Amino acid sequence: FCNLHYQRLIHHGHPLAGGEIRTTMRGEPQRWIDDRLDMEDGDCLIWPFADDGHGYGHFQLGGRPVKTHRYVCEKINGPPPFPKAEAAHSCGKGKMGCVHPKHLRWATTKENNWDRVNHETDNRGERCGTHKLKQPEVLTIDRLLSSGASHQSLADEYGVHRCTITDIAKGKNWSWLTGRVHHSNPQP
């Protein structure tokens, strides 16, 4: 097999698969989208074709890869209003492949990140794959910091690097839980 078909075999169990054992015909993803652009409000519209490995749909258009949610957002809302505009999901289900036209809008990175917080799809705290501390531990550390405990003694006690404790103390990490605010990154 060539690399493409070998990867399909590894990921889907068949060299011609792309999510299900069938070949997607050229233009089929774009036709699927175009047939659904006039949808009214309702449940999420889940992309049935390939995704980028993170749940966001994508397809080829004119030989170039296109992110499906951006394509739909542009079709509905016009071109991005500023250079780094992001296609944000009001439903919070972008990683599940939602491409419902009424669920997409242009947003800044900051607005999109706040959407992730509101939808609880962000990766802060215990949702972060590399977290070492649990919320109750952070609250205890915060209390002990307020009573004057040293950063190094807390780091030793909880089995983390001193910088982790310092970042909690400065409000760089876990500020949403402790209420500590870092000066260069104020919350809106």
User: pLDDT digit string (tens) for 103-158?
Assistant: 999 999 888 888 787 777 767 777 777 778 888 998 999 999 999 999 999 999 99
Between helix 162-170 and helix 151-158 the angle, nearest 10°, is 120
Alpha-carbon distance 24 to 63, whole Å?
Answer: 14
Alpha-carbon distance 134 to 122, whole Å?
Answer: 16
State which H helix or E strand residue 89 sits in. Answer: strand 86-89
* pLDDT exceeds 70 at position 96: yes
Q: State residue 113's pLDDT score.
A: 83
Per-residue confidence at 21, pLDDT binned at 50, 70, 90?
very low
Other beta carbons within 10 angstroms of residue 165's beta carbon come to: 25
Alpha-carbon distance 87 to 66, whole Å?
Answer: 13
Instruction: Look at 10-14, 76-80, 85-89 and tell me which has the smallest mean pLDDT.
Output: 10-14
* pLDDT exceeds 80 at position 9: no
Region 47-69: what's the mean pLDDT?
87
119 or 97, which is more confident?
Answer: 97
Per-residue confidence at 24, pLDDT binned at 50, 70, 90?
low
Cβ pair 182, 172 in contact under 8 A: yes
pLDDT, averaged across the chain: 84
Q: Buried (b) or exposed (e) across 93-128, using 16+ Cβ within 10 A? A: bbeebbbbbebbbbbeeeebebbbeeeeeeebeeee
Cβ pair 3, 15 in contact under 8 A: no
* pLDDT exceeds 80 at position 44: yes
